[in-house]
């Protein structure tokens, strides 16, 4: 519904009636905004609701009606979160309909009961309160319908552990702690094996480094480092989602090895995942040193950094200070995230560097605080030495629970398991219970965070961490029309982890249904091991091509950048048409203002072969609307559709375009 401020006045006699109706509409809009969305600002949109330049499929933007009244904003806000099906859509029979559930979409802040979700093929096609028909109908009355969980701190999706992931609500398993040195072989292997969950991996620096037969305490020579940089670049172009380091396990890796890889990650717009160098507060080398190191790499390179399991590495015994260091770095404009697994005990192999001499003092534990995973056996000095030689995995009861609670509350911390069940079940229980435990223990029982926040930390945030160069993830972690049908349906009253240290293979309770790519992988009959719907999650990179269209814009002529079917012009071109802009390094955005003059701008052509990247930079218009920009090298590009939405007349002439004032 749209209201025009320019409508001609009707007969004076009906004006009071119109005024009364308008007052009622405004009042209704205020009520809807405050009641439905919990915002005390009349007519305000939900924080993540589409604004005046919500990106659309062609890479442009969709303008809002600036003439809309407050009541219309509230009405649009309500209708924009759930779909209003046409008669034709209501008459269709869909592959799967999940009916009458409490649907949570963390991207739009939707959290509403009594909704129906229609799935066709591998996509969600409707989220509505209208009744729908399905070939298969799942009654979700009393259940939560959420995006499938994304575990982006996992390992290779082996044929044993993937089923426990599904039983824990996981639909996407990404090996960012570990990964592969050869994604050109890794991805085809898991495609051939018809992996049941979606899968992806980082370039695993430690594995690649092993080709030089360096010990964990050796430092690579400059020539070796350059070889590794070249291999990492090849890996990224073959689909690797980022770069991962395990500094505590390979302490010989220093800044001369790390920074060249960080600069490569910045160039390719992918994050670097770090298992930090220290995990305690005993000198020499403390958590604070570890955090300073990682923050320093982010600052020196500009690359995005993810800190693995800060509850067990980098924050144990220092969580308040460690979290503040990260928060301060983010406030500085650095791109840093972290994750935790919701357990107050960690686990690793006894022959790792973590158990080098002095571990009892560092972790404030003794032999009896160690337990061999998959057994009830606590260790002694004698059994420790025996199992250390065998490289057994042990669980260490060494994390203060308050550290878990405090880190879980941090807005930049998501959930990641740091495990997948291996054959033989020699694993930490987090391999089977991470996601159910987050909801069951820390949301329902202890109320540390809200359910909607937990869902975001288990789905949307992991997707957003990796999606800039992985388009497949841009359709995951959300429950909305057009998104992938990766869905988990669970009973909030029953969801809980059941795995234990001695029996880590026990699956979680309360996960009622799991859909992967629109196929039901778990239901009341259990896990369907004949459903293998997993797809590879890979980085993709587009580069500037020769040729391209041109833009004639009131006396200036500029070469356009084409990207995924849309055309973009260099941001600097706006300077010649009455605009000025200022960079905000914290918000990663340009603020645009209108000026009296028109400064001449030198606008170079996009350089053929350079990467076209979605860095997440935004252009903020003078009316507050935001437009996503593209980046090529140090330059940024704005979609022509956004200029059209802000008052310029766009026309196609031959192979080029023109912009003129309206």
Map tokens 């789905």 to a residue: 459
Question: Average of pLDDT values for 142-154?
Answer: 99
pLDDT band at 64 (very low <50, low <70, confident <90, very high): very low
Q: β-strands 61-62, 54-55: how paired? A: antiparallel
- Partnered with residue 306 across adjacent β-strands are 273, 337
Residue 46 is predicted with a pLDDT of 29
- How many DSSP H helices and E strands does the chain contain? 17, 36
Q: What angle do CA 515, 516, 521 make, to 5 degrees?
A: 60
Question: Average of pLDDT values for 373-400?
Answer: 97
Question: Average of pLDDT values for 210-214?
Answer: 98
| 74: pLDDT strictly greater than 70 | no
Residue 384 is predicted with a pLDDT of 98
| 486: pLDDT strictly greater than 50 | yes
Residue 332 DSSP label: T
Say which residues have a Cβ less than 8 Å from residue 145's Cβ, sequence separation at least 6. 98, 101, 102, 103, 104, 115, 117, 479, 487, 488, 489
- Partnered with residue 349 across adjacent β-strands are 393
| 13: pLDDT strictly greater than 60 | no
The model's pLDDT over 365-383, given as tens digits with 9 standing for 90+, comes to 999 999 999 999 999 999 9
CB 429 within 8 A of CB 499: yes
How far does CA 499 lie from the centroid of its chain? 27
How far does CA 532 lie from the centroid of its chain? 24
pLDDT band at 31 (very low <50, low <70, confident <90, very high): very low
Q: What are the backbone angles phi and psi of residue 632, rounded to the nearest 5°?
A: -130, 110
pLDDT, the chain, mean: 89
Question: Average of pLDDT values for 494-509?
Answer: 98
User: Could you tell me how many residues make up the chain?
Assistant: 662
| 56: pLDDT strictly greater than 60 | no
| 154: pLDDT strictly greater than 70 | yes
Which strand (E) or helix (H) includes residue 287? helix 287-301
Question: Average of pLDDT values for 14-18?
Answer: 37
Report the alpha-carbon distance of residue 160 to residue 503 in Å, rounded: 15
Residue 48 is predicted with a pLDDT of 29
The model's pLDDT over 512-553, given as tens digits with 9 standing for 90+, comes to 999 999 999 999 999 999 999 999 999 999 999 998 899 999
The model's pLDDT over 553-607, given as tens digits with 9 standing for 90+, comes to 998 899 999 999 999 999 999 998 989 999 999 999 999 998 876 666 789 999 9
Report the alpha-carbon distance of residue 447 to residue 424 in Å, rounded: 35
Q: Name the residue among 548, 574, 550 with its Cα closest to residue 643.
A: 574
Report the alpha-carbon distance of residue 434 to residue 482 in Å, rounded: 28
Residue 596 is predicted with a pLDDT of 75
Q: Is 620 helix (H, G, I), strand (E, B) or coil?
A: strand
Q: Which domains does the chain have, with CATH numbers?
A: 12-81 (no CATH), 148-344+399-474 (3.20.20.140), 542-661 (no CATH)
Residue 51 is predicted with a pLDDT of 29
| Token representation of residue 479 | 């429950």
- Partnered with residue 542 across adjacent β-strands are 612
Report the alpha-carbon distance of residue 80 to residue 433 in Å, rounded: 35
CB 626 within 8 A of CB 47: no
CB 149 within 8 A of CB 171: yes
Residue 81 is predicted with a pLDDT of 85
Q: What percent of the chain has pLDDT over 90?
A: 84
């Amino acid at each position: 519904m749209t209201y025009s401020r320019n409508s001609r006045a009707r007969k004076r006699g009906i004006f009071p009636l119109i005024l009364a109706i308008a007052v009622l509409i405004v009042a209704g809009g205020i009520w809807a905004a405050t009641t439905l969305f919990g915002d005390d600002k009349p007519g305000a949109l939900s924080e993540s609701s589409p604004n005046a330049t919500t990106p659309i499929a062609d890479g442009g933007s969709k303008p809002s009606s600036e003439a809309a009244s407050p009541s219309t904003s509230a009405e649009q806000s309500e209708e924009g979160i759930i779909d209003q099906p046409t008669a034709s859509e209501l008459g269709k029979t869909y592959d799967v309909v999940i009916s009458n559930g409490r649907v949570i979409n963390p991207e739009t802040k939707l959290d509403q009961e009594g909704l129906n979700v229609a799935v066709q093929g591998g996509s969600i096609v409707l989220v509505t309160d209208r009744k729908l028909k399905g070939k298969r109908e799942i009654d979700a009355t009393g259940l939560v319908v959420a995006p499938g969980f994304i575990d982006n701190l996992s390992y290779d999706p082996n044929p044993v552990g993937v089923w426990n992931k599904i039983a824990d609500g996981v639909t996407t398993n990404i090996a960012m702690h570990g990964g592969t040195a050869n994604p050109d072989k890794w991805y085809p292997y898991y495609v051939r094996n018809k992996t049941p969950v979606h899968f992806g991996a980082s370039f695993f620096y430690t594995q690649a480094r092993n080709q030089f037969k360096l010990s964990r305490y050796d430092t690579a020579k400059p020539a070796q480092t350059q070889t590794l940089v070249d291999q990492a670049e090849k890996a990224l172009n073959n689909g690797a989602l980022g770069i991962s380091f395990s500094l505590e396990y390979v302490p010989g890796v220093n800044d001369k090895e790390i920074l060249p890889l960080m600069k490569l990650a910045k160039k390719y717009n992918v994050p670097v995942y770090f298992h930090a160098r220290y995990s305690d507060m005993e000198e020499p080398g403390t958590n604070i040193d570890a955090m300073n190191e990682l923050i320093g790499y982010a600052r020196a390179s500009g690359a995005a950094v993810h800190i693995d399991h800060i509850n067990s590495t980098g924050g144990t015994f220092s969580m308040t200070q460690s979290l503040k260091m990260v928060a301060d770095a983010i406030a500085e404009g650095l791109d840093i995230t972290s994750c935790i697994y919701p357990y107050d005990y960690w686990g690793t192999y006894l022959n790792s560097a973590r158990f080098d001499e002095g571990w009892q003092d560092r972790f404030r534990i003794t032999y009896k605080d160690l337990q061999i995973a998959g057994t009830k056996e606590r260790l002694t000095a004698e059994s420790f030495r025996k199992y250390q030689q065998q490289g057994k995995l042990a669980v260490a009861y060494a994390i203060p629970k308050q550290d878990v609670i405090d880190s879980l509350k941090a807005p930049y911390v998501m959930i990641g398991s740091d495990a997948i069940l291996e054959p033989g079940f020699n694993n930490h229980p987090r391999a089977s219970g991470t996601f159910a435990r987050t909801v069951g223990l820390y949301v329902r029982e202890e109320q540390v965070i809200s359910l909607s926040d937990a869902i975001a930390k288990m789905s949307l945030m992991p997707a957003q961490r990796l999606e800039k160069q992985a388009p497949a993830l841009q359709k995951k972690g959300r429950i909305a029309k057009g998104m992938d049908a990766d869905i988990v349906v669970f009973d909030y009253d029953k969801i809980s982890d059941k795995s234990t240290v001695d029996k880590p293979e026990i699956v979680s309770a309360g996960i009622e249904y799991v859909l992967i790519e629109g196929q039901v992988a778990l239901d009341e009959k259990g896990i369907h091991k004949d459903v293998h719907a997993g797809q590879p999650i890979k980085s993709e990179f587009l580069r500037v091509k020769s040729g391209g269209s041109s833009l004639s814009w009131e006396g200036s002529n500029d070469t356009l950048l084409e990207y995924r079917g849309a055309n973009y012009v260099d941001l600097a071109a706006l300077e010649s048409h009455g605009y000025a802009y200022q960079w905000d390094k914290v918000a990663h955005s340009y603020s645009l203002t209108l000026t009296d003059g028109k400064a001449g701008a030198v606008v170079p052509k996009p350089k053929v072969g350079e990467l076209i990247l979605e860095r997440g930079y935004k252009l903020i218009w003078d009316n507050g609307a935001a437009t996503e920009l593209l980046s090529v090298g140090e330059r940024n590009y704005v979609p022509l559709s956004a200029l059209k939405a802000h008052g310029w007349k766009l026309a196609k002439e031959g192979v080029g375009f023109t912009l003129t004032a309206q």
